A and B are shown apart, each in its own frame.
Chain A
Amino acid sequence: MDAPGDFAPVQVVGLGKRFGRRRALDGVSLEVGAGEIVALVGPNGSGKTTLMRVLAGLARPSSGEARVFGREPFRERAQVMRRARFAFAPPALFPGLTAREHVAHLAAVGGARPGRAEVDAALELVGLAERARDRVRTFSFGMRQRLALAQSLLPRPELLVLDEPTDGLDPLAVLELRAILLRLREEHGLTVLLSSHLLLEVGELVDRMLVLAEGRPLFWGAPAELLEGAERIELTAEDTGLARAALAGAGVEVEEREDGGLSLPAQALTLTDAATLLERGGTRLASFHARRPSLEQALLARLRAAREERP
């Protein structure tokens, strides 16, 4: 019997996973609400896929708890899969089957009997209708990615978990994927949890994201929140050395940029204060402007900071 519908699609509390001595996940918590699109972001080896495998019931947590629709995935995997669908990277498919057979037969594994029209609609959705009768072994990596998405949509799940779904897709296909996921959320209330190491590709799509670094949570929230406190002032002076000394003397935290300019936290100084301070220090302000970093830059800054803080 399925769990009552009031459980969140994904609930993870203090999750830890070890492989021998290696700690793949450590103290990870997140909750994905119904209809949300959430991304797991982090560099390779940060624990994204391990977290997904725990949610899929393929791996047991070493500590903490993971629940999908209120169920413990490792023990109740079959029940979890009645409502959730997972597609892991790289897409593992059956090379001898045609795209149509692949989608139809995999749907039937759970007892569903999708009609030809439904199967073809799923293939059409991912742009593979023309190749429905071709064997999977003839498909490119990007086509396999799209087929993996098509097969995971039949029968329609409530939760879709996609591991690196944009890998191997051209920019147009990435845009199409975004549109498909948004449409499925809009029309069917689909909840999506996806992973990517490229924030740029998912930043515009997701409601919230969990950034992982070496298995530990680094950030959990809306992408815009990642930018909070990340704004910087960039200034240049006639003499960078004197400017740096003057700012440091005033207690401002200064970083030298690769182009020879200086970077300081936003709100550290006003334009007038900066000009005055540099004048007193024996040099003149040449340029001064606030810079809002991209999500990727903000993420990289956090990853670097986390790496530096590591004992």
Chain B
Amino acid sequence: MTLRLEGLRLWRSRQPALALGAVAFFLALMLLGFYTYAQSRTGGSAEFRYTYENRSYFNGLTFALYAFYFGFVLVLPIFAATEGGAQLAGDTGGGTLALLLSRPVSKARLFATKFALAAGYTAALVGAFLALALTVGLLLVGWGDLDLYPGVLQMTDRPQHLTQSEGLARFALAWPLASVGLLAPLAFSFLVSVWTRSAVNAVGTAVALYLVMYVVAEVHFFQDLRPLLFTSYLTFWRELFREEVDWPTLARDGAKLLAFTLLFLALAFRRFRRREEA
């Protein structure tokens, strides 16, 4: 019943509507970028010849994948952190955690409920993002197969071709896998939020630390640090968009992300169980 209460609270808050609005805005920006970039750069430019030699390369699936990739690393983790921060630090700061703890419910159950709800919300947001990106892409950019070329976003090291139906099937698979990927930043935001009593501080700190780790994971200079950062594995679902999916690699990186998730959750719960709500 705690889940029902928490679900109702989330539903009645402005958060889902704001998140969907932000996703729609982001997709509109991406669409604008896609059009203007394509128009200005595809006129026989040698620099982009390899990528844009064929105008059919631009289609709804390409748009959806690139929009989702950017959204996944830059937008969705912020919503995950916002939800994580709101769940514990928000309730602590607002005094409603004491209200919940004044009921016969264990801290373990409360913590698990809050994480389950936040994970479900994040998965729904990922699904909504993908659905919206595909709808916008297929309707406004165009139908066609999914062709990927090396270089751009490092999606692939050699050209890849997936038929439209194969591409759509991979997008369907990307939903659960990307949702699993976001569990790690979500758990990380829970870990941050048990150390602070203000949702704003929790969200700000979690987002800042996430961005630092993301940048460190992307910079070659910090190559030795990469295995230690969950951000290095976040986009493991990209493997799905290859002609031949390397399933063992996909499973290994997914397992690493789950291990990070469990570690963050264990540390967060340890602190939550022991701390005073005074």
Contacts and interface: CB of A to CB of B under 8 A. Distances in A.
Interface string B11-41: 0110000000000000000000000000000
B214 to A, nearest CB: 33
A78 B106 CA distance: 6
A92 B2 CA distance: 17
Nearest to B1: A108
Interface string B113-128: 0000000000000000
B9 A58 contact: no
B104 A58 contact: no
B276 A59 contact: yes
Contact of A105 (B5, B94, B104, B277): B5
B43 interface: no
Given A78-B105, A81-B104, A109-B2, A92 B99 contact: yes
Interface in A85-99: 85-88, 90, 92-94, 96-97
Interface residues of B, number: 24
B8 A109 contact: no
Interface string A18-42: 0100000000000000000000000
A94 B12 CA distance: 10
Contacts of A108: 1, 4-5
B277 A81 contact: no
A106 interface: yes
B172 interface: no
B4 A58 contact: no
A18 to B, nearest CB: 11
Measured as residues with beta carbon below 8 angstroms from the partner, the interface class of chain A is 20 to 34
Given A53-B278, A58-B278, A88 B101 contact: no
Interface in A38-92: 50, 53, 56-60, 74, 77-79, 81-82, 85-88, 90, 92
B276 A109 contact: no
Contact of A92 (B1, B94, B278): B94
A111 B1 contact: yes
B104 A19 contact: no
Contacts of A110: 103-105
Given A58-B277, A105-B5, A77 B101 contact: yes
B154 interface: no
Contacts of B95: 88, 90, 92
B102 interface: yes
A101 interface: yes
Nearest to A152: B102
A37 to B, nearest CB: 19
Given A58-B101, A88-B95, A106-B103, A96 B5 contact: no
A264 B79 CA distance: 70
A93 B95 CA distance: 8
B105 to A, nearest CB: 5
A258 B270 CA distance: 59
Given A56-B101, A60-B276, A109 B13 contact: no
Given A19-B278, A58-B276, A79-B104, A94 B98 contact: no
B102 A85 contact: yes
B271 to A, nearest CB: 14
B94 A50 contact: no
Contacts of A53: 98, 277-278
A93 B96 CA distance: 6
Nearest to A108: B1
B100 interface: yes
Given A106-B99, A106-B103, A96 B9 contact: yes
22 contacts: A50-B278, A56-B102, A58-B276, A59-B276, A59-B277, A59-B278, A77-B106, A79-B104, A81-B101, A81-B102, A81-B104, A88-B98, A88-B99, A90-B95, A92-B94, A92-B99, A93-B99, A105-B1, A105-B8, A109-B100, A109-B103, A135-B12
